[in-house]
Homo-oligomer: A and B are copies of this chain.
Amino acid sequence: MKKTALIMAGGRGERFWPRSRKQLPKQFLSLTDDGKTMIQLTVERILPLVEQEDIYIATNRDYLPLIREQLPLIPESNILLEPVGRNTAPCIAAGAALIRTKYEDALMMVLPSDHLIRYNGMFQTTLKEACEVAEKGDNLVTIGITPDHPETGYGYIRFAGESAQGRAFAVDSFVEKPTLEKAKEYLASNDYLWNSGMFVWKISSVMKRFRELMPEVYEGAKQLQEAFANGSGEETLQKIFPMFPSISIDYGIMEKSQNIYTIPGAFGWDDVGSWLAVERIRQSNESGNIVSGNVITIDTRNCIIQAQGKLIATVGLKDLVIVDTEDATLICDKASTGDIKKVLENLRICNRNEYL
């Protein structure tokens, strides 16, 4: 069966401020040594599985110029421009509608645009396995990540102990972000995987669930499909999309459906959730610093320092994140990266939108 992919690129992450901005969210940044942006890497990663003209991007209309610039080979007709953010369920339904103008039915991989994966080969193997499971019946497959620490920032997938389809396990339940105590329990139990937000299914399988569980979205998607086919897609999207409820696919569909499977992925997944991720992604020097740009370090250890044109000189520092940009510089203790959002709150309160 034809393989297609929907890459979700509407996120407005704040955790990489000041490099990420409202007008330049994380998926359009390069955080790796190779200079490629997160979304470019996401596309590159699935090209061995999906033909270029079968890759679809869902994003906010503000980001169209960035998509064109960073992914010039993706056909413009494959770009779904959400007029407003409505979480993942409406996005996926609209994406499915767009794909259906080309294929009556197809396999659809749903992928975030701002995660990193270390072992692309293993990732591709996992997705192929997921496709095999998804092709059978009306199975919905989610890629689970084998946890290695009691993370409280992710949702979890509880799976049934016995393998049902090849490497795929039947999903027992989806669990919200846990407390640390709960997370430790989950880790020790060996019954849980992290919910990575990557899904594989046939379009017919997921649309069947929308019809049952979110009928208003299903009806909207049908209207959209017609509109996409007759060239009035943008207009109809403008009209219909804002009326969709803002609901995640996990909550709207996955938690309430039968025949849900998970395949454990062990391909070096990283959600790149904060500046600290840079330590996992990039090589540090002999002082433990990860430095880029115009930087002089004196007696400085275990720092992440990103300069641009301006010289950054550090003396006697340790465990800091220092990020310089054209108009703003962040200096943050590594233990406090979670508080970067407070800077943004402060900026919002003071109406200093130029920095957001």
Interface core residue of A299, A315, A337, A347 (most chain B CB under 10 Å): A315
Q: In the bound complex, do residue A332 and residue B311 qualify as a contact, i.e. CB atoms below 8 Å apart? A: no
Q: In the bound complex, do residue B316 and residue A332 qualify as a contact, i.e. CB atoms below 8 Å apart? A: yes
A18 → B minimal CB distance (Å): 7
Q: In the bound complex, do residue A331 and residue B343 qualify as a contact, i.e. CB atoms below 8 Å apart? A: no
Interface-forming stretch among A114-122, A141-149, A158-166, A322-330?
A322-330
Do A311 and B346 contact each other (CB < 8 Å), given the known contacts A299-B339, A331-B317, A335-B316? no
Q: In the bound complex, do residue A314 and residue B331 qualify as a contact, i.e. CB atoms below 8 Å apart? A: yes
A251 → B minimal CB distance (Å): 32
CB 8 Å contact bits of A322-356 with B (1 = contact, 0 = none) = 10100111111101110110110011000010010
Do A355 and B311 contact each other (CB < 8 Å), given the known contacts A298-B339, A339-B298, A346-B296? yes
Name the contact of A331 in the complex, choosing from B18, B312, B328 (C-beta under 8 A): B312
Chain B residue at minimum C-beta to C-beta distance from A347 = B296
Residues in B neighbouring A324, C-beta threshold 8 A: 329
Q: In the bound complex, do residue B310 and residue A343 qualify as a contact, i.e. CB atoms below 8 Å apart? A: no
Name the contact of A315 in the complex, choosing from B310, B311, B336, B352 (C-beta under 8 A): B336
Q: In the bound complex, do residue A310 and residue B327 qualify as a contact, i.e. CB atoms below 8 Å apart? A: yes
C-alpha gap A197/B335 in the complex (Å)? 46
Q: Is A320 an interface residue (CB 8 A)?
A: yes
C-alpha gap A316/B331 in the complex (Å)? 9
Q: In the bound complex, do residue A331 and residue B313 qualify as a contact, i.e. CB atoms below 8 Å apart? A: yes
How many copies of this chain sit in the oligomeric assembly? 2
A137 → B minimal CB distance (Å): 50
Q: In the bound complex, do residue B343 and residue A328 qualify as a contact, i.e. CB atoms below 8 Å apart? A: no
C-alpha gap A343/B311 in the complex (Å)? 11
Residues in B neighbouring A320, C-beta threshold 8 A: 317, 331
C-alpha gap A336/B314 in the complex (Å)? 10
CB 8 Å contact bits of A290-303 with B (1 = contact, 0 = none) = 00000010110000
Residues in B neighbouring A337, C-beta threshold 8 A: 315
Residues in B neighbouring A331, C-beta threshold 8 A: 312-315, 317, 320, 322, 331
Residues in B neighbouring A340, C-beta threshold 8 A: 313, 315
A28 → B minimal CB distance (Å): 21
Q: In the bound complex, do residue A312 and residue B329 qualify as a contact, i.e. CB atoms below 8 Å apart? A: yes
Interface core residue of A296, A316, A322, A340 (most chain B CB under 10 Å): A316
Residues in B neighbouring A314, C-beta threshold 8 A: 330-332
Q: In the bound complex, do residue A311 and residue B296 qualify as a contact, i.e. CB atoms below 8 Å apart? A: no
Residues in B neighbouring A312, C-beta threshold 8 A: 328-329, 331
C-alpha gap A78/B311 in the complex (Å)? 39
Q: In the bound complex, do residue A316 and residue B329 qualify as a contact, i.e. CB atoms below 8 Å apart? A: no
Residues in B neighbouring A328, C-beta threshold 8 A: 310-313
A304 → B minimal CB distance (Å): 12
C-alpha gap A320/B333 in the complex (Å)? 11
C-alpha gap A18/B310 in the complex (Å)? 12
Q: In the bound complex, do residue B18 and residue A343 qualify as a contact, i.e. CB atoms below 8 Å apart? A: no
Interface core residue of A311, A320, A335 (most chain B CB under 10 Å): A311
Chain A to chain B contacts (Cβ below 8 Å), 22 pairs: A18-B311, A18-B313, A298-B336, A298-B343, A299-B336, A299-B339, A310-B329, A311-B328, A311-B352, A312-B328, A312-B329, A313-B332, A313-B340, A314-B332, A315-B333, A315-B337, A315-B339, A315-B342, A317-B320, A317-B332, A320-B331, A322-B331
